[in-house]
Amino acid sequence: MKQEIKVPAVGESITEATIGSWTKKSGEFVKRNEILMLLETDKASVEVVAENDGVLTILPGNEAGAVVKIGATVAMLDTDAKPSAEAAAPAAAATAPAPSTAAPAPTSTAASQHLSPAVQRIVTEKGLEPSAIQGTGKDGRLTKGDVLDASAPAKAAAPAPAAKAAPAPQVSAAEVMAARGPSKQGEKKLVPMTTIRKRIAERLKEAQNTSALLTTFNEIDMTKVMDLRSKYKDKFKEKYGLNLGFNGFFVKACVEALKATPAVNAWINGTDIEYHNYYNIGIAVSTDKGLMVPVVKDADMLSLAGIEMAVRDLALKGRDGKITPNDLSGGTFSITNGGVFGSLLSTPILNFPQSGILGLHKIQDRPMAINGKVEIRPMMYVAFTYDHRIIDGKEAVGFLVKVKELIEDPERLLLEV
């Protein structure tokens, strides 16, 4: 029985995918639930598995790197075929010693002179020719000192002790460069962009080309949040099994600020402004495959602990390559944290078509004027990039000030007042 292997639906609005790689070869016998290939979409990577045992036949034009439509047949699986004798006993050929390993290695010049292990190692490392070195050992054998002298830079050329007054020869720049080895000018490597990386580039450029981007900045005194975190982090971990971070505080602060400035939670749809009465907050996560922004859905309905658990689970899925298109869709606002990499200040780019993104940065002690006195406080610069076509400066500054006030007064944040 021939069974078609089709490109599965991998998410809403996704019409095509790229075959990242085949884990099985054409003509190879595969077992049920074995991974056949890895599909890359503009949002995530998806594994396609065999539904039955059989022999795989990859159809022409569907090799790794090919762009395929959703629902297209890319391979066939012959479920009536049985594994070949070679497939049934693959270890037989592997266990037989290769002829080349059984053949004795050709005798080198060094070996013909019965070099000691230490001498042989130096000769091999330095690329010396033993026959060209005068041996001082018994029967003219090479000693370790002989090969070390031969491999050392020419000392005879150095001035004799009696010639101390003679100036040292000047080394030219050309000699210095020559000592570093051949130039690597012109060496390069071309690596095709993955579908995800291409989509990231397209979306970021689309945001720049379409939106009227503007960024406003502020700074937040993290003292009270850090004190609260330090006071309850052990009990929090004991109850919920995870560390108490800052994500929960900032997500809750953003939700309250979005409620106060609805335009930030909206975007332009054609000639209309599309407002959203729900709060789906995207959290930027750096992965091996590029930047992803998984979404915490209905963040306004979650407790601080619920937000922390959702962020942790999404981050782990992103880093383990298990993120799904559904995890990445539906966001209405985003947060990115360059501070985890040491960034002190940056201007984030919108996650199009969203109209706002909050950039968090490194917490750093700085002298601050507090009630007429200079105190050292843990401060964080925050940046809010917004689409000026829909959000006015007054609204943007008001949004960021609201976030600042709530983080600096976490009791008010938790009480939602």
Contact 309, 299 (CB under 8 A): no
CA dihedral 121, 124, 127, 132 (to 10 degrees): 70
> To which residue do tokens 């020719």 refer?
129
Q: How many helices (H) and strands (E) does the chain have?
A: 14, 19
H-helix or E-strand spanning residue 121: helix 117-126
- What strand order describes the sheet that includes 67-69? 45-49, 35-40, 16-22, 67-69
User: How many whole angstroms separate alpha carbon 34 and alpha carbon 292?
Assistant: 27
User: How many whole angstroms separate alpha carbon 404 and alpha carbon 346?
Assistant: 17
Q: Which amino acid is at 213?
A: L
H-helix or E-strand spanning residue 369: strand 363-370
User: How many whole angstroms separate alpha carbon 199 and alpha carbon 100?
Assistant: 48
Tokens of 38: 């890895």
User: How many whole angstroms separate alpha carbon 373 and alpha carbon 112?
Assistant: 84
Catalytic status, residue 276: no
Catalytic status, residue 388: yes
Taken in order 147, 151, 157, 160, the sign of the CA dihedral is negative
Q: Quick one: DSSP state of residue 80? A: T
Q: Which amino acid is at 401?
A: V
Tokens of 328: 């990445």
CA distances from 283 to 115, 195, 329, 373 (A): 64, 21, 12, 37
User: Across the strands, what pairs with 219?
Assistant: 381
User: How many whole angstroms separate alpha carbon 193 and alpha carbon 65?
Assistant: 10
Interacting residues of 129 by C-beta distance below 8 A, sequence separation 6+: 109
Residue of 276, 298, 388, 409 with catalytic role? 388
Q: Which one, of 277, 264, 258, 292, lies nearest residue 354 by Cα?
A: 264
Q: Using alpha carbons only, what angle is made at residue 405 by residues 402 and 409, rounded to the nearest 5 degrees?
A: 140
User: How many whole angstroms separate alpha carbon 5 and alpha carbon 2?
Assistant: 10
CA distances from 406 to 255, 377, 401 (A): 11, 17, 9
Active site residues: 388, 392
